Homo-oligomer: A and B are copies of this chain.
Amino acid sequence: MRFSPLFWPIRLKGSTIYILDETRLPQKLAYIKARNYKQACKAIKDMKTRAAGQVLLVMYIFLQLLKQGKRKELARVALTINKTRPTLSFKSLTDMVLGWSKNRVPLEKCLLGFLEGLKYSRIRQAEDAAKLLKNNDTVLTHCNISGLMPLIADIASKQGKSLKFFATETRPYLQGSRLTAWELRRAGFDVTLITDNMVASVMAQGRIDKVIVGADHLALNGDIANKIGTYQIAVTAKYFRVPFYVICPPPSDKKSGKEVKIEIRPDKEMLEYQGLRLAPVGAKGYYPAFDITPYKLITKHIRMEIKR
């Protein structure tokens, strides 16, 4: 199986963490070096990595601490990680690690075991998604599911199913354009970019068979938080009766999406793009980075099972 660089965007070499800088893609495939947890947390805040990359990075931060002989700092580092961004449930990840640190099993073993489990759970999710697709299906996706989309296409292809893709560009960060269209093309699959406001148009034309998106947060009732724009696609898919599938992380402890805190980012990030001013000087914007899609709009949750 060939993996997209986005499938496993974090590495640890010696005691340095290498973080794929997703903001520089597709122009450049470059890694940031994080020599300590502060540099790594800054990469999360600056959205250098996101989605699955954030989960991996949390684990690698703890592995780095162990390599640096700083086991005593576990709890303090966990607090810093929890404060980076609000919508992904960092606390449930760090609580899990702090829990392991009280076990008899060495913490390093737990962390490496979790990462190994995560890898196979994610491949399993791609297999589950591929099962839901038919030959000649056209799949619409939004933002980027950390390398899973080319993996799904690859698995489907081995089952004799040819897929086509539509990717929304995903303003304001353009992850759909910069990451999803890039990784699908790179792997040889047919992908067409649309702007975020074209979803109803292409669905009305009958060009979309299924929607597959990821999620940054899964609440206990099945509500999900995902990249801003997901909710609108779900509403539109419901209207046009297009199945809407979500590849989910493990559930958090939140009862419903209402309890999930939505990150509001600086409006500058949507009023400018790579230094180019898009809006009139002095204009104000509103930039919620995520939205909550209620469970009733989700045709099927593709859940993650991690065996430990």
Residue numbers of A with Cβ under 8 A of B are: 26, 142, 166, 168-172, 174, 177-178, 181-182, 185, 191-202, 204, 228-229, 231-236, 238-239, 267, 270-271, 273-274, 276, 278-288, 291-292
Contact = CB atoms under 8 A, between A and B. Distances in A.
CB-based closest 4 A-B pairs: A197-B229, A200-B232, A196-B197, A26-B280
A239 B278 CA distance: 30
A101 B280 CA distance: 43
22 contacts: A169-B279, A172-B195, A177-B279, A178-B278, A178-B280, A181-B283, A182-B280, A192-B284, A192-B286, A193-B267, A193-B270, A193-B271, A193-B285, A194-B270, A197-B228, A198-B286, A198-B287, A199-B232, A200-B234, A200-B291, A232-B232, A236-B236
Contact of A194 (B192, B280, B286): B286
Contacts of A285: 192-194
Nearest to A204: B231
A233 B197 CA distance: 8
Nearest to A177: B279
Nearest to A181: B283
A268 B164 CA distance: 21
A35 to B, nearest CB: 31
Contact of A286 (B202, B234, B236): B202
A283 B180 CA distance: 11
A89 to B, nearest CB: 20
B185 A283 contact: yes
Contacts of A202: 286
A291 B286 CA distance: 26
A1 to B, nearest CB: 22
Q: In the complex, which of the residues A271, A284, A286, A291 has the most CB atoms of chain B within 10 Å of its own CB atom?
A: A286
Given A229-B197, A231-B200, A276-B276, A177 B236 contact: no
Contact of A239 (B178, B182, B235): B235
A185 B282 contact: yes
A178 B236 CA distance: 27
